[in-house]
Chain A
Amino acid sequence: MAGVFDGLQVLDLSWGIAGPMTTMMLVDNGARVTRIERPEGDPFADQTGYRVWHRGKRSATIDLRSPQGHTAFLALASRADIVVETFSPGTTDELGIDHATLCAINPRLITCSISGYGRHPDHADRPGYDALVAARTGLLYDQKGRRGTAFEYIVGRDGPHPEYDAPDGLVRGADRPGPVFPRTPWPSIGANYVASLGIAAALCAREVTGRGQHVETSLLQGALAAISLNWQRVENPDATLYWMWPIDSRSIEGIYECADGRWVHHWTVRPKWVLGAAEAERPQDVVLDTAYRDDPDRISMEADGFLTGIFLHPLLAEAFKKFPSSDWVEAGALAGIGVALVRSPAEALADESFLADGCVVEVDDPEVGRIRHVGSVLEFSSTPGGVTAPSPRSGAHTAEVLAEAAAIIASPAAPTRPTTTTGEAGEGSEGGTGPRPGVSLAHPLAGVRVLDLGLGVAGPFAGRVLADLGADVIKVMAMHDGYWSGTHMGLGTNRGKRSIAVNLKHPLGRAALDRLIEQADVFTVNWRPGAAARLRLDFDTLHARFPRLVYCNTRGYEKGPRSDLPGTDQTAAALTGTEWEDGACDAGNPPLWSRSNMGDTGNALLAATAITAALYHRERTGEGQAVSTSIVNAGLLHTSYAWIASDGTSADWGHVDGDQHGLSPYYRLYQCEDDAWLFVAALTPEHRLRLLHAVTGHAVSAVEPPNTRGDAGAALEAALEANLEADLEAGFRSRPAAAWQSALDALGVPAEVVDESFCRTIFDDPHARAERLVSETWASGVGRFEDPGLLVGFSDTPSVIQGGPCMCGEHTRQLLREHGYTDTEIDDMAAEHAVLDAPIERP
Chain B
Amino acid sequence: MGASTKERLISADDHVDLSHAAVKAHLATKFHGDYDDAIAAFVSSAGNVLSIEANQLWRAQQNLGPSERPVGMGTGRRHAANGRAGHTDAKERLADMDADGVEASATYCEVSAFRYLYLVKNGWKEATRAFNSSLADFASAAPSRLVVSYQIPIHDIDAAVAEVRWAASTGCKSLQLPVFPAELGLPDYWDTRYDPLWAAIQDVDLPVCCHIGMNTALDDLARRDPTPQKGIFVPLVAMSAAEPLGMWIMGGVFERFPDLRVVFVEPGLGWVSWWLYIADDFVLRQGYDFPAITKLPSHYFRKNVFLTFVDEPDALYHAHSRLGVENIMWSSDYPHPVSSWPNSQKVVDEMFVGADPVERALVVSGNAARVWRL
> Does A748 belong to the interface (CB within 8 Å)?
yes
Cβ of B364 under 8 Å from chain A: yes
Question: Which partner residue on chain A sits nearest B168 by CB separation?
Answer: A766
Q: Are B1 and A128 in contact (CB-based, < 8 A)?
A: yes
B326 proximity list for chain A (CB < 8 A)? 735-736, 739
Q: Which of B1, B3, B358 contacts A88 (CB 8 A)?
A: B1
Complex CA distance for A127 and B4, rounded to whole angstroms? 13
Interface stretch, picked from B40-48, B115-123, B284-292, B365-373, is B365-373
User: Is A46 part of the contact surface with B, judged by Cβ < 8 Å?
Assistant: no
Given contacts A695-B358, A739-B362, contact A748 B2 (CB under 8 A): yes
* Contact A703-B354, Cβ < 8 Å, known A739-B370, A745-B366: no
Q: Once bound together, how far apart are the Cα atoms of A706 and B2, in whole Å?
A: 13
Shortest CB distance A771–B (Å): 15
Instruction: Mark out the residues of chain B between 328 and 374 whose CB falls within 8 Å of any chain A CB in the assembled complex.
Output: 354, 356-358, 360-362, 364-367, 369-370, 373
Contacts of A693 in B (CB 8 A): 357
A405-442 contacts to B, CB under 8 A, are none
Contact, CB under 8 Å: B5 / A706:
yes
B92 to chain A, nearest CB (A): 25
Closest chain-B Cβ to A526's Cβ sits at a distance in Å of 40
Are A742 and B1 neighbours in the complex by a CB distance under 8 Å?
no
In this assembly, does B125 line the interface, its C-beta being within 8 Å of a C-beta of chain A?
A: no
How distant is the Cα of A152 from the Cα of B4 in the complex, in angstroms? Answer: 42
- Contact indicator per residue, chain A 701-718, by CB within 8 Å of chain B (1) or not (0): 111011000000000000
Assess whether B367 is in contact with A739, with CB atoms less than 8 Å apart. yes
Q: Which of B164-218 contact A (CB under 8 A)?
A: 169, 171
Cα separation A637 to B169 with both chains bound (whole Å): 42
* Partner among B5, B366, B369 whose Cβ is within 8 Å of the Cβ of A705: B5
Whether A694 lies near B370 (C-beta < 8 A) is no
Interface status of B155 (Cβ within 8 A of chain A): no
Contact residues in B for A701 (Cβ distance below 8 Å): 357
Q: Is A690 an interface residue, CB under 8 A from the partner? A: yes
- Complex CA gap A706/B354 in Å reads 18
A747 located at the interface, meaning its Cβ lies under 8 Å from any Cβ of chain B in the complex: yes
Q: How far is the CA of A766 from the CA of B357 in the complex (A)?
A: 36
Report B-chain residues with C-beta under 8 Å of the C-beta of A694. Answer: 357-358, 361
The yes or no answer to A544 lying at the interface (CB within 8 A) is no
Chain A residues near B367: list those with CB within 8 A. 739, 742
A750 close to B (CB within 8 Å) = yes
The contact string, 1 if C-beta is below 8 Å from chain A, for chain B 1-18, is 111111110000000000
Chain B residue contacts of A743, Cβ below 8 A: 358, 361-362, 366
Q: Which of B4, B361, B364, B366 has the most CB of A within 10 A?
A: B361
Q: Are B4 and A748 in contact (CB under 8 A)?
A: yes
**Cα–Cα, bound, A745→B7 (Å):** 11
Closest CB in chain B relative to A40 CB, distance in Å = 11
B373 touches A703 (CB 8 A): no
- Bits for A667-702, please: 1 = Cβ < 8 Å to B, else 0: 000000000000000001011001001110101111
A749 at the interface (CB under 8 A from B): yes
Write out the residue numbers on chain B whose beta carbons fall within 8 Å of the beta carbon of A766. Answer: 169
Which residues of chain A are within 8 angstroms of B366 by Cβ–Cβ distance?
739, 742-743, 745-746
Chain B contacts for A706, CB-based, 8 A: 5
| Cβ contact within 8 Å between A750 and B1 | yes
Residue pair B3, A746 in contact (C-beta under 8 Å)? no
B7 touches A703 (CB 8 A): yes
Determine if B361 and A746 form an interchain contact, defined as CB atoms under 8 angstroms apart.
Answer: yes
Q: A122 contacts the other chain (Cβ, under 8 Å)?
A: yes
Partner of A687, one of B3, B364, B370: B3
Name which of B5, B364, B367 has the most chain A CB atoms within 10 A of its CB. Answer: B5
A454 CA to B73 CA, complexed, in Å: 80
Q: How many residues of A contact B (CB 8 A)?
A: 37
> Which single residue of chain A is at the shortest CB-CB distance from B362?
A743
- Chain B residues near A750 (CB-CB < 8 A): 1
A742 x B369 contact (CB < 8 A):
yes
Q: In whole Å, how far is B254's beta carbon from the nearest beta carbon of chain A? A: 15
A738 contacts B by Cβ under 8 Å: yes
Q: Which of B1, B365, B373 contacts A746 (CB 8 A)?
A: B365
- CA–CA, A694 and B362, complex, Å: 11
Q: Are A127 and B356 in contact (CB under 8 A)?
A: no
Check B5–A746 contact: CB distance below 8 A: no
A42 CB, nearest partner CB in chain B, Å: 14
CA distance A750 to B1 in the complex (A): 8
Within the complex, what minimum Cβ distance (angstroms) separates A640 from chain B? 25
Q: From residue B203, how far is it (CB to closest CB) to chain A in Å?
A: 9
User: Are B3 and A684 in touch, CB under 8 angstroms?
Assistant: yes
Complex alpha-carbon distance, A695 and B362, angstroms? 13
- Give the chain A neighbours of B370 by CB distance below 8 A: 738-739, 741-742
By beta carbon, the residue of chain A nearest B371 is A742
Chain A residue numbers with a CB within 8 Å of B357 are 693-694, 700-703, 747
Residue from B3, B365, B370 having most chain A Cβ neighbours under 10 A: B3
**In the complex, A313 Cα to B171 Cα: how many Å?**
51
**What is the CA–CA distance of A128 and B2 in the complex, to the nearest angstrom?**
12
B365 surroundings in chain A (CB, below 8 A):
742, 746
A686 engages B3 (CB within 8 Å)? yes
Instruction: Give bound CA distance, A735 to B362, whole Å.
Output: 11
> Among A127, A700, A736, A741, which residue has its beta carbon within 8 angstroms of that of B1?
A127
| B354/A746 in contact, CB under 8 A | no
**Given known A127-B1, A690-B3, A735-B326, contact A746–B356 (CB-CB < 8 A):** no
> Measured between alpha carbons, how far is A687 from B4 in the docked complex, in Å?
10
Residues of A within 8 A of B4 (CB): 748
* Docked pose: A735 CA to B324 CA in angstroms: 10
Name which residue of chain A comes closest to B370, CB basis.
Answer: A742
Task: For A687, give the chain B residue with the smallest CB separation.
Answer: B3
Could you tell me the distance between the alpha carbons of A743 and B370 in the complex, rounded to whole angstroms?
9
B354 near A699: Cβ-Cβ < 8 Å: yes
State in angstroms the CA–CA spacing of A88 and B2 once bound together.
11
B3 near A742: Cβ-Cβ < 8 Å: no
- With A and B bound together, what is the CA distance between A362 and B100 in angstroms? 60
Tell me the complex Cα distance, A697–B356, Å. 7
- Chain A, 730-773, CB within 8 A of any chain B CB: 735-736, 738-750, 766
> Which interface residue of B354, B362, B365, B366 has the most chain A CB atoms within 10 A?
B366
With known contacts A736-B326, A746-B362, A703–B5 Cβ distance under 8 A: yes
Taking the closest CB of chain A, its distance from the CB of B211, in whole angstroms, is 22
In the complex, which residue of chain B has the Cβ closest to the Cβ of A681?
B1
Distance in angstroms from B319 CB to nearest chain A CB is 12
> Chain B's nearest CB lies how many Å from the CB of A730?
14
Contacts of A739 in B (CB 8 A): 325-326, 362, 366-367, 370
29 A-B interface contacts by CB (under 8 A): A88-B1, A121-B171, A127-B1, A686-B3, A694-B358, A697-B356, A699-B356, A702-B358, A702-B360, A702-B361, A703-B7, A703-B357, A705-B5, A739-B366, A739-B367, A739-B370, A740-B358, A742-B362, A742-B366, A742-B367, A743-B361, A743-B366, A745-B366, A746-B362, A746-B364, A746-B369, A747-B3, A747-B357, A748-B2
* Residues in chain A within 8 A of chain B (CB atoms): 88, 121-122, 127-129, 684, 686-687, 690, 693-695, 697, 699-703, 705-706, 735-736, 738-750, 766
Q: Sort A-B residue pairs by CB-CB distance and give the 4 closest, nearest first.
A: A748-B3, A742-B366, A702-B357, A746-B361
Chain B interface residues (CB < 8 Å from chain A): 1-8, 169, 171, 325-326, 354, 356-358, 360-362, 364-367, 369-370, 373
